[in-house]
Amino acid sequence: MKSRLEVNNIGKTFYSDWGEVEALKSISFTSSKSEFISIVGPSGCGKTTLLRIIAGLEKPSTGEVLIEEIPVRGPGHDRAVVFQDPRLFPWLTVEQNAAFGIEDSNKDEAKSKLDNILQLVGLENFRKAYPYELSGGMAQRVAIARAFAFKPKVLLMDEPFSALDAQTRSRMQMELVDLWQQTAKSVILVTHDISEALLLGQRVLIMSSSPGIIKETIEVPFDYPRDVDSLEFIKLKKYITSRVY
Amino acid sequence: MSINRNNTSEKISSSIKDISRKIIRGLVFPVIILAIWEMAARQGVVDPYFLPSPSSISHTYIDMFGSGLLQQHLLISLQRLCYGFLIAVAVAIPMGVLVGKTRTFRHYVNPTLSFLQQIPPIAWIPIFMLWLGIDEASKVAVIVYAAFFPIFLNTVQGVISVDPKLIEVGRSFMLTTGEMIRRVYIPSAAMTIFVGLRLGLSNCWRALVGAELIAASSGLGSLIMDARNFSQADKIFVGIFTIGLAGLLIDFLLRRMESKLMPWKKMYKVGGNT
């Protein structure tokens, strides 16, 4: 079976005035289908760097990333990133922001797809609003819509919900699972929140720092929607927590 | 859930009230000055040869307006302003984007530009006349020079301060260099560029009048010089006031254009208006 995403022996060393820092060391994993992978680890373990390398925004020092067997040389149509902050363009309306990555947003086909996505993230009534009129949660949903509208095969998310309040966060986590199940994308979610990683991911990669390596991979045995209060969930969460710290 | 726009009309009426209050406050000072001036003139405190009364100036104003003389000079000045300003915009904005985007290029041109910036536009008039003759070209050249620096420098500043995070979004969506400039850099820098446009416009309005005072047979500046030659103080004042009023009007129009073109700008005004 053709693998959708292959991360081969990725290493990254940063050079600065006070010496070298090995941020990532021999990171390897593959994903063959529309999988949801969570990556957790303590801050500074290089999980964001790993995501940026997969996105093509940063070059690895060693190794390579393959998307459907094609090596990553930079950003591409097969991937889209949702950053930690929404990063909307203040001069564009909600729908213009969401359509930012679409080549020709005037075509009827593209328009109906955009409608669809705005509906999925619950922003169809806000299409003409500007980012300054939105709450933090709404803005982040626009950023997610923008990434989905781009129709990537792999969606890369860097702590997309960390700036949100608890209620909005849990609503958006459920929305994300819905979106993912409807669109058959691969999702890689970087987070420092262990219950988030376990709530969303089919697989959880646990990283440790200096140098950043994958310490352990956990196959999550639960179906969606997951019950965070179940004994098995809590037990697994405790285990992962003990491995992270 | 939808954004609450119900109180918009309320907001508009209160903002009209705000604006009219501001206009009234702004007029207090000029009205007091004019009243004192008029009284002084009527009491014979000042010699009308040097300082004619506001009422006699307004009579001259109406006369000159009625004969079409004022409009004729004003139009010529505005025409020069338009040509010069548009040329300056066409040169300064692309150059500003280029210089702002490329750091090495900045190192090459900065010292030269800083040097040129120190020279007032009027100082160039004699040499421009020598090169371009006494016709329109030399005046337009002065205007271009005067408008160039504010527009250019603000464009550079605007482009330098584009949020690198937004540039990264552009990169992740695979924008080409041209798209990046058009869709990220220019709109990002638009507000700063507009400040440059306003500064540039008022700069070149002043430089234009300066140029016309020194060497022109038409335009508001030359109107003032002609009046001086005939010792017509009232006409000089008509010229001066027209220059000020036209400048105000131009700036007002540019500001209107700014808020029409950039509706998102409101967010920067959250702290209250001035």
Rounded to two decimals, the ipTM of the complex is 0.86
Q: Which residue has the tokens 């992270």?
A: A244
- Record the tokens describing residue A10, joined without a space: 């990725």
Task: Give residue B186's pLDDT.
Answer: 92
**Residue A132: closest C-alpha in chain B:** B267
Mean pLDDT score, A70-98: 91
Task: Give residue B164's pLDDT.
Answer: 93
Residue A133 CB burial class (10 angstroms; 0-12, 13-18, ≥19): middle
Q: Minimal Cα–Cα distance from B127 to chain A, Å? A: 44
pLDDT band at A1 (very low <50, low <70, confident <90, very high): low
Q: Minimal Cα–Cα distance from A188 to chain B, Å? A: 16
Cβ-based contacts of B266 with chain A (< 8 Å): 130, 132
Nearest residue to A24 via CA among A240, A205, A238, A245: A205
Q: What is the pLDDT of residues B146-186, one digit of tens each?
A: 999 999 999 999 999 999 999 999 999 999 999 999 999 99
Cβ-based contacts of B261 with chain A (< 8 Å): none
Supply the CATH classification number for the domain A5-78+152-244. Answer: 3.40.50.300
How far apart are alpha carbons A1 and A200 in whole angstroms? 25
Q: CA neighbours within 13 Å on the CB side: how many for A120?
A: 25
Task: Give residue B91's pLDDT.
Answer: 95
Instruction: Tell me the Cα Rg of chain B.
Output: 23
Task: Give residue A243's pLDDT.
Answer: 87
* Cβ contact A125–B174 (<8 Å): no
Helices B69-101 + B233-261 axis angle, to 10: 40
Low-confidence ranges of chain B (pLDDT < 50): 1-6, 268-274
Is the pLDDT at A202 greater than 80, yes or no?
yes
* Cβ contact A91–B262 (<8 Å): yes
* Cβ contact B3–A85 (<8 Å): no
pLDDT band at A212 (very low <50, low <70, confident <90, very high): confident
Task: Give residue B74's pLDDT.
Answer: 92
* Cβ contact B166–A87 (<8 Å): yes
Higher pLDDT, A1 or A35: A35
* Cβ contact A150–B169 (<8 Å): no
> Do residues A226 and A199 make contact, with C-beta atoms less than 8 angstroms apart?
yes
What φ, ψ does residue B75 adopt, rounded to 5°? Answer: -60, -40
How far apart are alpha carbons B21 and B30 in whole angstroms? 15
* Cβ contact A132–B262 (<8 Å): no
**Residue B186: closest C-alpha in chain A:** A91
**CA B13, B18, B21, B22 torsion-angle sign:** negative
Is the pLDDT at A56 greater than 70, yes or no?
yes
Give me the percent of chain A exceeding a pLDDT of 90. Answer: 35
Under an 8 Å CB criterion, which residues of B touch A?
1-3, 165-166, 168-169, 171-174, 183-184, 187-188, 190, 262-264, 266-267, 270
* Cβ contact A89–B190 (<8 Å): no
Task: Give residue B271's pLDDT.
Answer: 39
Mean pLDDT score, A167-184: 85
Q: Which distant-in-sequence residues (6+ apart) come within 8 Å of B215 by Cβ?
A: B125, B129, B134, B138
Is the pLDDT at A21 greater than 60, yes or no?
yes
Task: Give residue B272's pLDDT.
Answer: 38
* Cβ contact A130–B263 (<8 Å): yes
Exposure string over B200-236, b if 16+ CB within 10 A, otherwise e: bbbbbbbbbbbbbbbbbebbbbbbbbbbeeeebbbbb
| Alpha-helix residue ranges (DSSP H) falling in chain A | 47-55, 94-98, 108-120, 136-149, 166-183, 194-200, 231-244
pLDDT band at A57 (very low <50, low <70, confident <90, very high): very high
Count residue pairs from A and B with Cβ separation < 8 A.
58
How far apart are alpha carbons B192 and B186 in whole angstroms? 10
C-alpha dihedral, A140 to A143 to A149 to A153, nearest 10°: -90
Task: Give residue B2's pLDDT.
Answer: 44
Which of B173, B267, B270 shows the shortest C-beta gap to A100? Answer: B173
Domain coordinates of chain A in residue numbers? 5-78+152-244, 88-142
Q: Minimal Cα–Cα distance from B165 to chain A, Å? A: 7
Q: CA neighbours within 13 Å on the CB side: how many for B210?
A: 18
Please give the domain boundaries of chain B with CATH numbers for all domains.
Answer: 79-264 (1.10.3720.10)
* Cβ contact B264–A90 (<8 Å): yes
* Cβ contact A57–B172 (<8 Å): yes
